[in-house]
Copies of this chain bind each other. A is one copy, B any other.
Amino acid sequence: MRLAASPEELRRELAGLPRPTVLVPTMGALHEGHLALVRRARQSAGPAGTVAVSIFVNPIQFDRPGDLAAYPKPLARDLEQCEAAGVDLVFAPEAAAMYFPDRSITVSESLLSRHLCGATRPGHFDGVCTVVLKLFNLFQADAAVFGEKDVQQLAILRRMARDLDLPVEIIGHPTVREPDGLAMSSRNVRLSPEHRADAPRIRRALEGARSLLQFGERSAAPFLAAARKHLEDSPFLRIDYLELVDAETLQPVSPIKRPAVLAAAVFYGDVRLIDHVTLPP
């Protein structure tokens, strides 16, 4: 496995590696969810292609300095996991190698980012779009794999690829969960034992609300009320948002006539977790 710490090193390493190049952009603190993305990347690249992983805790997508500072950075362990998973190339730069002090170019999205995380994390998706576009360019990636857990991120990156005519295939991969249903996230390790035990409630609240479909329910309010009730029964969590949005436009919708997404973000202490379920119409 090759390792690059700067754009220059990355270009040098890439020159000796065969196309197609399939990238898995991560912020490190790798877990089974990331490894599933790596396997999906290998499937897309083929045995002879290149599977690349970027590990970069991107400062410009963090809206809360504390969240950035507390983000886990177990680099040695991440590299071991990549090696064991058959990754060909890891790019793990410092922030100074990615951003000039006088950087002034931003890629922004103005529609799909209005709700959900976009509403409660100002500038977050500008930071995501900008860094992902940089990574696509640095790797000259042919395809990239992202987790469906970050449903809004995936929709926005697909939109970026479409609107900027990027020559990159965007591949979504289903959310990987813990045995108790909690969506895997690098932030889970920061939960206290009590909070960790309570957190599968997020998934149950969303799944429970979804079951209203079988009674023919189509207006948004009952879904939101059911999910909110179950979330608010927790003595620990605080709801950041709970929204029911169109699956394509990510705008609030009622009644449900096309595929929709019921999505939540909650705080356990200062740890923020997200999850969602899709609602077929």
**B-side contacts of A104, CB under 8 Å:** 109-112, 159, 163
Kindly report which residue of chain B lies nearest to residue A139, judged by CB atoms: B165
Please tell me if the beta carbons of A164 and B129 are within 8 angstroms of each other in the complex.
no
> How many Å lie between the Cα of A7 and that of B162 in the bound state?
12
**B-side contacts of A162, CB under 8 Å:** 100
> How many Å lie between the Cα of A258 and that of B235 in the bound state?
62
Please tell me if the beta carbons of B111 and A108 are within 8 angstroms of each other in the complex.
no
A43 within 8 A of B: no
Shortest distance from the beta carbon of A239 to any chain B beta carbon, whole Å: 27
A137 within 8 A of B: yes
Kindly report which residue of chain B lies nearest to residue A11, judged by CB atoms: B167
> How many Å lie between the Cα of A108 and that of B106 in the bound state?
5
A133 within 8 A of B: yes
Please tell me if the beta carbons of A134 and B7 are within 8 angstroms of each other in the complex.
no
Kindly report which residue of chain B lies nearest to residue A104, judged by CB atoms: B111
**B-side contacts of A109, CB under 8 Å:** 104-106
Shortest distance from the beta carbon of A23 to any chain B beta carbon, whole Å: 13
Which of A110, A129, A133 has the largest count of B CB atoms less than 10 A from its CB?
A133
Kindly report which residue of chain B lies nearest to residue A165, judged by CB atoms: B137
**B-side contacts of A159, CB under 8 Å:** 104-105
A138 within 8 A of B: yes
Please tell me if the beta carbons of B107 and A106 are within 8 angstroms of each other in the complex.
yes
**B-side contacts of A111, CB under 8 Å:** 102, 104
Shortest distance from the beta carbon of A162 to any chain B beta carbon, whole Å: 7
Please tell me if the beta carbons of A140 and B165 are within 8 angstroms of each other in the complex.
no
| Contact pick for A108, options B102, B108, B137, CB 8 Å | B108
**B-side contacts of A160, CB under 8 Å:** 105
A166 within 8 A of B: yes
Please tell me if the beta carbons of B164 and A140 are within 8 angstroms of each other in the complex.
no
Other A-B contacts than A99-B163, A133-B164, A137-B165, 16 sampled, CB-CB below 8 A, are A100-B162, A104-B109, A104-B110, A104-B111, A104-B112, A105-B107, A105-B108, A105-B129, A105-B159, A105-B163, A105-B164, A106-B108, A106-B109, A107-B107, A137-B164, A137-B167
Closest 4 CB pairs of A and B: A105-B163, A104-B111, A137-B165, A104-B110
